[in-house]
């Protein structure tokens, strides 16, 4: 599926819809350049799960867990990872194979660690269409 959004609000709303439908054990990979809207999408997704507390990119901790929603949200941002094996240090298996849903910003950096059964969300800009235009491509494995 390909969606087009014209504002952060619309990307948030798209994330919110996916969050409402999210299931335990799902792994959602979020890719796209810095500033494209991965965290905005995640904030909507969290809202869709019923999470009220503020959600930001866990750039330095790599993982942030939110328990207050319908199911747990495991929000990864692996932008600063050196090598995929560093995931073992944060006990990633508990999350990838846990009770909640994983949302992984920059999953392309840990490609070999991701189970093949995942949902791929890629966000792209296209400057000719305006600064706030985003194409959001959702591919189910």
The footprint of ligand ADP on residues 81-110 (CB under 6 A) is 105
Binding characters for ligand ADP, 43-62, by CB under 6 A (x = yes): --------------x-----
Q: Residue 52 gets which letter from DSSP?
A: -
With beta carbons less than 8 A apart as the criterion, state whether 105 and 40 touch: no
Given the complex with ligand ADP, which of 37 and 69 has the nearer CB atom? 37
With beta carbons less than 8 A apart as the criterion, state whether 136 and 121 touch: yes
Binding to ligand ADP by residue 38, rule CB under 6 A? Answer: yes
Q: Which one of Mg ion, ligand ADP, none is in contact with 5 (Cβ closer than 5 to 8 A by kind)? A: ligand ADP
Q: Residue 92 gets which letter from DSSP?
A: T
Q: How far apart are CA 5 and CA 130, in angstroms?
A: 11
Q: Which one of Mg ion, ligand ADP, none is in contact with 107 (Cβ closer than 5 to 8 A by kind)? A: none
Q: Which of 103, 42, 114, 108 is nearest to 81 (CA)?
A: 108
The residues binding ligand ADP (CB under 6 A) are 5, 7-8, 10-11, 32, 34-40, 57, 105, 132, 134
């Amino acid at each position: 599926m390909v969606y087009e959004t014209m504002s952060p609000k619309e990307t948030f709303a798209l994330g919110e819809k996916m969050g409402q439908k999210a299931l335990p054990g799902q792994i959602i990979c979020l890719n796209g350049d810095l500033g494209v809207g991965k965290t905005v999408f995640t904030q909507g997704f969290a809202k869709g799960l019923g999470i009220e507390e503020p959600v930001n990119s866990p750039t330095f901790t790599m993982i942030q867990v939110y328990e207050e929603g319908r199911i747990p949200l495991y929000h990864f941002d692996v932008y600063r990872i050196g090598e995929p094996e560093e995931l073992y240090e944060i006990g990633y298996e508990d999350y990838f194979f846990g009770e909640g849903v994983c949302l992984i910003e920059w999953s392309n950096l840990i490609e070999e660690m991701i189970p093949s059964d995942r949902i791929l969300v890629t966000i792209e800009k296209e400057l000719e269409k305006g600064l706030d235009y985003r194409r959001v491509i959702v591919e189910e494995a």
